[in-house]
A and B are shown apart, each in its own frame.
Chain A
Amino acid sequence: MEKEQRIAWEAQCIQEEPPACSTTCPLHVDVRQFMKEMAEGHVNEAYKVLRKNLPFVGILGRICTHPCETKCRRGEVGGALAIGSLERFCVEHYGSPDRVKLLPRKSKTVAVVGGDVAGLVAAHDLRKKGYGVSLLEAGNQLGQSFREYSEDMLPGSVIEEELGALKDMKVDVRFGVTLDAAAFEALCTEFDAVFVDRTSSECASLPLEKDNDGLIGVDPITGGTSCPGVFAGGKEGEVPIMLAADGRKGALSIERFLQQAHMTIGRENDGPYETRLYTNLEGIAPLDRVRCADPDVGYTLGEAVQEATRCIQCECMECVKVCQYLAHYKKYPKKYIRQFFNNEKVLLGAAHSSNQTINSCTNCGLCAEVCPNDLHMGEVCLEGRHAMLQGDYMPPSAHEFALQDMEFSTSDEFVTCRHQPGTQQSAYLYFPSCQLSATAPAEVLESYRLLCENLSGGVGILLGCCGAPAYWSGREALFRETLKTIHQQWQAMGKPEVITACCTCQSVFSEHLPDIPTKPLWQIMENDALIDNACREKDSGKTIAVVDPCSSRYDSEIQNGVRRILGNLGFALEELPLSGELAECCGYGGLVFNANPKLDNAIVTRRAGESERDYLAYCAMCRDKFVHVGKRTAHLIELLFPSVSGNDPWARGWLSWSERRKNRRRVKDELLVNLGETVEHTVEPYEKIVLHIDPELLRTLDSRRILESDLRQVVFHAEQTCKRLRHNQSGMFRANLKIGNTTFWVDYAPEDGGYRIHNAYCHRMNVTGVK
C-alpha cells in the first residue's frame, strides 16, 4: 500500500470526523464526549471536557448562545439536546477552575490591546502556550461585556474568580493604558507580536488600515492586519462565543507567526464548519427534551443525566454495522487501513500482525454499498494480500486448499470445451461453473440438455473455473492466466454468447472479460415455457427466503429474474434483512472459509438463523455452506430440474470436498459419453485403494480439509514402504506422508479387501531433524 493510496482510503472513512455539534461550536467543544460523561453521571469528567476547549469555562459555560444545538442530530428525532442548559448545570455544580497548566516559558512576548472577550481569550491562550503576555486595558476592569449579564445569569463572583486565573498565569495586566500612534509603534517594537481586540476603545487611534465599516481590516483566515506581526479580532455586537473564537484565532496566528510557520495551511476548520461525519438516524426512536421541574432552578442532577442520555453519540459505523468481519476485529476502516499500512511499510511484514485480518474479508463489497464515500474494504484487503505475497509472508495455509481445488477445476480432470453434440458451431457457450457442477452435477447436465433443445445455433459447453479463487487470494498472475485460457477457448468456439449459471462467474466475466457477451441461465429460464409443469405443483404456496449471493449485488436483473422464476413456480417469497444491493456473503467469498474457518462458520451460522423459512440459493457455495450448518437450503437449479435426482432438494445434505471433485469429474465424463467420445482417465495406483470411513469421521476429516485422495496416498505409501507405526494391542497402523506443504497422519487397518480409516489429522510444521 503506497502512502498516497493510504491517505486516499483513509480520507474515505469518516468515522473519526467530529460530530456536527463540535464542528458548529466556534471553539469545537467535544459535546459528544461531554454528553457521554454527563449521561454516566460523571459531572467532574464532563467539566474537564468543557474546560479543555473553553477558556474561562465558568463564564462561557453560562452565557454561551449554544449554536451547536441548531445542528444537533437529535433534533431530527425528538428535540435537539439542551446542550446550553447542561453546560450551565455542569459549570454551576462543579467547583472553581483548576490552575491552568502552562507550557514552559518562551523568550518571545506578546502585547494584547483591549481586555474584553477576544483580548482575554487571546491573552489566556498565548500565555498558556508559554509566551510572555502583557494585557493593556484602557479602562479599569477586564471583561466589560461579561458584566452586562444579570447576577442570576452570570454572578459577579464567578467573573472575578474566572478572570483571576490570568493573575495566576502571570499575565501582566495593565489598566488605564491609552495608545496613540507613536505609543502603538513603540509597543510593536517592544513586543514580538500584538493582538488587538477590536471592541477596545483604543482601536480608532491605532495606525492600522480600516475596512469599510471603520473597523481594523483583517485577513479572514488569520486575523492579520496591515501591519506585520499585528493581529486583530472581535467585533462589537458579536456573541461571546464568536468573540472568544476570534481571540483564539489571533492567538493561533501569533503562535504561527512567532514560529515562522505557514500562516494559512490547515486552518480550514479553525472556526465553525460542516462536518463530513455521516450518522444514520434510522431506527432511533424520537425522544423529547427533558424538562426542568423548576425552570428557575434549572436541571437537577437526575434531569441533567436523563437529558444527556438522549445524546445519540453521533458516529458513522455504517459498514461495521452490517459486516461481521469488520465488527469481529473491533475496528473501523480507517483504523484497519492504518494497521495494514504499518504492518506492511513500518514493520515490513515482520510482525505480520494483520495477516489473518487481511485474509478474513470476503471481498463482498457490502461495506462500499453502505459507505457514504463508497470505501471498499475488499479492495484494501486485496491490496494487502498482494503485498503479503510480494513480501513473501503470506501464510501458505490461508489459501492453499482453495487454490488446489481451483487447480483441480482448471485441470484435465474437469476442463472440457465442446460444441453441442452433432454440431460444429456454437451460438452459445454454457459455462455452468466449477461449483455448480460440484454440487448439482445431474442438474447441470439436464440444464445443458434443455439449452441444447431450446436454443438455436448450437450450444457449446465449457467446463472450467473462472479464476475467482486466484483473484481473491491475490494470485494476480494465476488469475490473468486463467482468464486468458477462457478467452482463448471462447475465441476458438467462434466467440459465442456465454451462458453463466454462477453469479461469481458472471461478475468475473463482466468485469474482467468485458468483450465476452454473457447471459445468466436464470434469464433464459424466465421463459415460462421452459419450465416443466411438474415443478410447479410440488411446492406451490410454500414460503421461502431468497438468499441473494453477494456477487449478484449490482445485478438487479438477475435478482429480479430469480424472484420471477420462483413466483412462476408458485412460491411465496420472504426477504431476508439484507438482500438485493445489500446482499451478504456466505463466507466463501474472499476464501474466508479457508483463511479463517471460525469466522466463516460464525457468519453462515448467524445468517442461517435469520429466518425460519427454508432458504433458496442461486449460488452453489451459498447452498452448500448453509446446508453445512444444518439450514434447509435448495439451489434454484434443483427446483427447475427436480426429476433429476428424485431427492427432496430442501433436504439434500452436505457435500465433502472429495465428493465435489467426483461430481465435477462426473459432469465431464457424462458429457463426453453423450458426445460419443471415449472417456480415459489415467488412474494412479493409489486411487484403486478402497476406503471404509464412518460418515461422522468423514465430516471431521472434511473439516480438516483432508481429502480421500490424501488418505489413499498415505495408506498406499505406508503399505509400499512399511514405514509406519503399529499399535501393539489393536494392530492398527499409524502412518504419515507429506503431500505438498502438509503432512497427513492416518490411523488405519486392513478390512474387507480395503482399509478402514480410524482417524486422520495433519500439520504444516516440518520435522527437520531427530537427535
Chain B
Amino acid sequence: MKFSEEEIQNWKCETCGEGLVMRKVEFSYMKGSFHAELPACPKCGLVLITEELAMGKMAEAEKALEDK
C-alpha cells in the first residue's frame, strides 16, 4: 500500500503534536497475521488507516482469511 507524502504530511497526532512517519504495523484476524508499512505517530503509535486501505486491501485480506 503506497501512501503519498502529502497524505502523510496532512495529518498530525493531536495528543502528541507529532507528524506521522512510516512504521511497521502488525495485524491479525481469524488465525491469520501479517504486517504492513503504514503511517503512524512516532511517539504514541497511533496508526492511520485510510478509507482506501480499510475498504480495499484490508477488506480483501479479511475476506481471504474468512474464505480461503
Contact = CB atoms under 8 A, between A and B. Distances in A.
B27 A765 contact: yes
Contacts of A724: 14-15
B10 A729 contact: yes
Given A766-B28, A770-B40, A395 B67 contact: yes
Contacts of B12: 725-726, 728
A765 B51 contact: no
B15 A723 contact: yes
A504 B47 CA distance: 45
Contacts of B30: 393, 395-396
B66 A771 contact: no
Interface string B1-45: 000000001111111000010011111111001000000100011
Q: Identify the interface centre among A355, A727, A767: most chain B CB within 10 Å of its CB.
A: A767
A351 to B, nearest CB: 5
Main SS of the interface on chain B? mixed
B51 A728 contact: no
A763 B62 contact: yes
B67 A353 contact: yes
Interface in A710-731: 721-729
Contacts of A727: 10-11
A395 B33 CA distance: 15
A767 B23 contact: no
Contact of A759 (B13, B44, B51): B51
A763 B54 contact: yes
A508 interface: no
Contact of B27 (A725, A728, A762, A766): A766
A733 B10 CA distance: 11
Given A763-B49, A765-B27, A771-B24, A352 B14 contact: no
B27 A771 contact: no
Contact of B51 (A725, A726, A745, A770): A745
Contacts of A745: 49, 51, 54
Contacts of A763: 49, 54, 58-59, 62
Contact of A352 (B15, B58, B68): B68
A64 B59 CA distance: 61
Contacts of B23: 770-771
A734 interface: yes
Given A725-B11, A729-B10, A356 B62 contact: no
Report the interface size class on chain A. 35 or more
B25 A765 contact: no
B39 to A, nearest CB: 9
A770 B47 contact: yes
Contacts of A770: 23-26, 40, 45, 47
A766 B29 CA distance: 6
A759 B45 CA distance: 23
Interface in A161-193: none
Interface in A727-771: 727-729, 733-734, 736, 743, 745, 759, 761-771
Given A728-B9, A763-B62, A722 B27 contact: no
Nearest to A347: B68
A723 B40 CA distance: 13
A400 B27 CA distance: 21
Contacts of B67: 352-353, 355-356, 395
Interface string A396-419: 111000000000000000000000
Interface in B53-68: 54-55, 58-59, 61-62, 66-68
Contacts of A398: 66
Contacts of B59: 763
Contacts of A355: 66-67
A727 B46 CA distance: 14
A398 B45 CA distance: 31
Nearest to A769: B26
Contacts of B48: 725, 734
A763 B25 CA distance: 15
Contacts of B26: 767-771
A372 to B, nearest CB: 32
B7 to A, nearest CB: 10
B11 A764 contact: no
Contacts of A351: 68
A768 B28 contact: yes
A436 to B, nearest CB: 32
Given A727-B11, A728-B12, A761 B61 contact: no
Contacts of B51: 745, 759, 761
Given A351-B68, A765-B61, 4 more contacts: A725-B48, A745-B49, A769-B26, A771-B24
10 contacts: A725-B48, A727-B11, A736-B49, A761-B54, A763-B58, A767-B25, A768-B26, A769-B26, A770-B24, A770-B26
* The 10 nearest A-B residue pairs measured at CB: A395-B66, A770-B45, A769-B26, A771-B24, A763-B54, A765-B29, A725-B11, A355-B67, A356-B67, A761-B51
